[in-house]
Structure 1
């Protein structure tokens, strides 16, 4: 059984702990002033609720759960019996991914396992105790891999260049190998919709290619399958979710301290677009899912050279009033007609008003002129 047919979570209505007791439905307070006391008490109880008990959190969690479920279903990301290795960096994205996948694991109609894996790259000042403490507190099976990729990145990247590319390649190689070592069938990464859009524009502006991060990817050596279950999730929702969940965020000090990163510039551009035109990013992402190769210019993706006419014998005359031919001698020399025929403009292309007989138009004008306007009385 595959996720494409099965991964529609069995969601049961969640119990609202703040709802009134059904047995109290008919109880009516008659004491004066009690309404104000009740309002004050409700306000106090709302203040005492933790962020994850609020209606706002439940609504947001349901939205993320639904979007992740759709992505898993649409791209068949998780199948029966999968062991999903969730790469956790300590950032908001990977925390959210892990949290939502664990939630879906409990309610999904298929059985799969989750293991969290973190690569400690030995960056100076990295708080190596935070992530293991969180994973242990949550009872999440995990591995912490220790490898000094920081020194390697610093030694191979020239001064003034960004570290992201070299860092990600080293990290990816280590995680790919470990996934195969432990028998993980899928590697889940925390990239979201806005990451995919930013990568698209980075490649468009600086790489000369139309490509992005796919929701699902088979590695070049065909040894690992990558999935991005947050592909439909907006970054602003992840920011809000991480804030409400109070995840112990660990910032990346290796590349985060570098200025003028092109990805950061692209992200700023996307945020400005989202503020000014709320549906623009959604439209761009939809375009990434609706590619028309024949309307682009990739000769390997579409056979432009092999295009040929396949005309029939039906002649369609120009629909219009007249055709003026100039330099008729040259036209005749080429073998083209000197006086091409025309035909009357087809009624099927005319608007309803154009097709109306003159008598109908006159009667319509008469009815309009005789119509008595209705005046709303002022009470």
Structure 2
């Protein structure tokens, strides 16, 4: 199947299943300059032309002093594509690079979140789209289960604390293998971020685990994604969801399909 069709089918499935985008929305794509966010932007621009609801797409990039290449070529590419793009230099984050305080990563994350909301507000957006892929969902799921003792992953849709913005992750069913191929086909300038290259020990372990298992089970990620949508809460160890007194009727379950290519 054509790569663009595969991408749009998977993005469309996520958008439709979780009601990510609705009529009249203005969606701001958090564009980091990497392959995932570029793929997300292109997918939403294509989807806006054929979706049953009307919505507009814009993009923004937050400069925190971590890009490993000049950002100008990306801006030129987006201008040629006619994309409404905002480039924002976050001064508090840039000061962090000079001061190198303790817990700098936590502060950086907090500053980035604040900047994202300020930019989206200025763009008149009510939806913010992030480029987390199926790989990120699966890694988060395993990391939480194996290292924090929680059955939890990333939410495909959530809201900012004050409900001002809907936060969505339309690449929930799209693997990094697809975003790599698709971004390469665009011919867009990829601008790597220094933070993305500093992979923690836990994440390296999980990625290594995936690589080994996928040699024998190539659809591992799709199966894990399906598992995240097929919870049997009465077969876990949380008393809140167990029928301790034998009084509840067990409801029939409709198993969600595994979404493959």
Would the aligned equivalents of 1:179 and 1:185 in 2 still touch at CA under 8 Å? yes
CA shift, 1:215, in A, is: 1.0
Contact 1:120–1:128 at 8 Å: present in 2 too? no
Structure number with bigger Rg: 1
How far is 1:224 from its partner? Answer: 1.6
Residue in structure 2 matching 1:270, options 207, 210, 214:
210
Identify the match of residue 224 of structure 1 among 161, 165, 170: 165
The answer to whether the 8 Å contact 1:90/1:131 transfers is yes
Give how far 1:85 is off: 0.4
TM-score (norm 1): 0.60
Shift in alpha-carbon separation, 1:173–1:205, aligned structure 2, 3 A:
farther
Equivalent in the alignment of 1:286: 226
> Structure 1 residues 187, 146: closer, same or farther in 2, change over 3 A?
same
The CA deviation string for residues 206-262 of structure 1, in whole angstroms up to 9 with x for no partner, is 222211111111123322211111111111111111122222111112451x36442
* Selected match of 2:74 from 123, 131, 137: 131
SS of corresponding position for 2:244: coil
TM-score with structure 2 length normalisation? 0.85
- TM-superposed CA distance for 1:150, in Å, is 4.5
5+ long unaligned stretches in structure 1: 1-57, 311-379
Q: Which runs of 4+ in 1 moved over 6 A?
A: none
The equivalent of 1:106 in structure 2 is: 49
Gaps of 5+ in 2: 248-261
**Residue pairs, 1:197-208, within 5 angstroms:** 197-208=138-149
Q: Which residue of 2 aligns with 1:155?
A: 100
Q: From 33, 40, 60, give the equivalent of 1:97.
A: 40
What CA distance in whole angstroms lies between the structure 1 residues aligned with 2:56 and 2:22? Answer: 10
In structure 2, the CA distance between the partners of 1:138 and 1:278, relative to structure 1 (3 Å rule), is same
1:84 maps to 27
Whole-angstrom CA distance in 2 between matches of 1:67 and 1:259:
27
Residue aligned with 1:144, SS? strand
Indicate if the aligned counterparts of 1:157 and 1:166 stay in contact, CA closer than 8 A.
Answer: no
Question: Alpha-carbon deviation of 1:176?
Answer: 2.1
Q: Note the 1:288-367 alignment, pairs <5 A.
A: 288-300=228-240, 302=241, 304=242, 307-309=244-246
Q: Is 1:273–1:281's contact at 8 Å kept on the other side of the alignment?
A: no
CA contact (8 A) 2:68 2:192 kept: no
